[in-house]
Amino acid sequence: MNDSPGWATPGSTPSDGERPGTDGGAQQPSTPPAQPEQPARPEQPEQPAQPEQPEQPAGDPKWSAEQPPPGQWSSPGQSPEAPPAQPQPAAGWGQQPAGPYGGQYGPQHGYPGGPGQWGPPPAAKPGVIPLRPLGLGEILDGAVATMRTHWRSVLPITLVVATLVQVISVILQKFMLDDLTVATSEDVSTEEMIDTLGSTLATSAVVQFIQVLGTIVVTAMLTMVFSRAVLGQQSSVSDAWRESRPQLLRLIGLTLLLAFGAILLGAVLILPGILADSIGLGIVGFLVWLPLLIWLGVRFSLASPALMLEKSTVLKAFARSSKLVKDTWWRIFGITLLTSVLAFFISMMIVAPFQFIGIIVFGGGLESMEAGSDMGNWGMLVVPAIGLIIAQTIVMPFQSGVTVLLYVDQRIRREGLDLELARAAGLENYGTTGG
């Protein structure tokens, strides 16, 4: 390494014997160690003769009267007046602050989403969702994650209930539709058409009632499973049944009250047109009834989880749902509609192949189906029922999970439920120290 003045390593300090202005500097010989190199520079002929340097130390191009502090030595040829380091402007948006990491984010500055970051820290996630207001993707992902992670609790509940519902439905359809045929000839009497239509509607009503009861039981038990999944806790089938059983009758009453309200509203709006034998009045009543029914359905869509998780009464559950949905009706409507569409397509993709197999193999083909014969065939009833069991095992927990997570999300947004959930999950001092 060249030991001449000005080439010292940044941060090094020359010896006292080499500092100008000291006693050692006054006793230096007239010829410095780097003197032989100076005459060889043709680009600096105007420099004064080297022997005169001891008499003129202030004009020395190599040494300055005021040396920079240690660690800021400049390279040869640099003006001694020029500062060794330019001041850095203050870092603004999109600029990296200067630091010992070469302008990169270091531990003292942090980076977005990491330790020492600017802004609020990431929300805790003890279970299937983060404890903060949720987006659409997080709600759907939370429902699927619960089905995947807690399948030992979710699968038996939905599979057993769906199987029981379909077995009862198949038996009822077998005995109610065994002798039912659809006449296609033009000489069929009005009485026969009314009997056929009445039998079909009665069978559908009984089957739907059984489906509703099964859905109520699944909803009650799965609500408890999802509430524990939010906290990262496991829930067995027995635990879910024990926690949901006290509220089961109230949930049945809530569901029946919703159904009765929808029927009563339809009767008030549509029945006058039917009694007056006015098709136009009936259509107007229907056009008023349908959007009103949708509005009320969304407004009370969170009543079920409110009833189960808050251990409230039916009327209080309706009031809680109305309060939570207020001012966010369109958001909840959109998420509920998207969930219903997804559930419908999933069900159709599963059930359609089983229905096709039942018609071709056991129903005598499309011609027999069009004629209305063999509607009470065991194969025609059992094979589609298998598809329905599979579809309901997947769809019911998905829809129930979205409803529960919507309820949790609304309470986090309006009531700070995330703090209570964090304490229930065992997160000490959550929300009080920035974490």
Reported as a single tens digit per residue, the pLDDT across 214-246 is: 889 999 999 999 999 999 998 899 999 999 999
Q: What's the structural domain count of the chain?
A: 1
Tens digit of each residue's pLDDT (9 = 90 or more) over 111-150: 444 454 455 567 889 999 999 999 999 999 999 999 999 9
Cβ proximity of 252 and 214 under 8 Å: no
Residue 392: give the domain boundaries.
136-236+326-424
Residue appearing with tokens 């909803």: 219
The whole-angstrom separation of Cα 397 and Cα 154 is 7
Cβ proximity of 134 and 142 under 8 Å: yes
User: What are the CA-CA distances from residue 67 to residues 5, 18, 63 (Å)?
Assistant: 11, 12, 8
| Category of 241 on φ-ψ map: left (φ > 0), alpha (ψ -120 to 50) or beta | alpha
In a domain, 19, yes or no: no
From 331, 305, 339, select the one nearest 320 (Cα to Cα). Answer: 305
The whole-angstrom separation of Cα 370 and Cα 398 is 35
Phi, psi of 300 (to 5 degrees): -105, 20
| Category of 184 on φ-ψ map: left (φ > 0), alpha (ψ -120 to 50) or beta | alpha
In a domain, 64, yes or no: no
From 161, 289, 296, 150, select the one nearest 224 (Cα to Cα). Answer: 150
Average pLDDT for 256-266: 92
The whole-angstrom separation of Cα 257 and Cα 345 is 29
CA neighbours closer than 13 Å in the CB half-sphere of residue 416:
5
The whole-angstrom separation of Cα 393 and Cα 160 is 9
| Residue 373: partners with Cβ closer than 8 Å, 6 or more residues away | 181, 364
Identity of residue 81: E
In a domain, 285, yes or no: no
* pLDDT computed for residue 348 by the predictor: 94
Identity of residue 338: L
The whole-angstrom separation of Cα 269 and Cα 284 is 8
Helices (H), 302-415: 303-310, 314-325, 329-357, 365-371, 378-415
* pLDDT computed for residue 376 by the predictor: 61
In a domain, 49, yes or no: no
In a domain, 117, yes or no: no
CA end-to-end span of the chain: 53
5-14, 53-62, 112-121, 309-318: segment of lowest average pLDDT: 5-14
Q: Counting every residue, how long is the chain?
A: 435
In a domain, 8, yes or no: no
* pLDDT computed for residue 74 by the predictor: 43
The dihedral through the CA atoms of 399, 400, 403, 404 has a sign that is negative
Q: How far is CA 170 from the centre of its chain?
A: 39
Pairwise pLDDT comparison (194 vs 110), residue with the higher score: 194
Mean pLDDT of the residues in the chain: 75
The whole-angstrom separation of Cα 170 and Cα 382 is 7
The whole-angstrom separation of Cα 433 and Cα 18 is 56
In a domain, 92, yes or no: no
Tens digit of each residue's pLDDT (9 = 90 or more) over 71-99: 444 444 444 454 454 544 444 443 444 44
From 223, 237, 244, 227, select the one nearest 400 (Cα to Cα). Answer: 223
In a domain, 14, yes or no: no
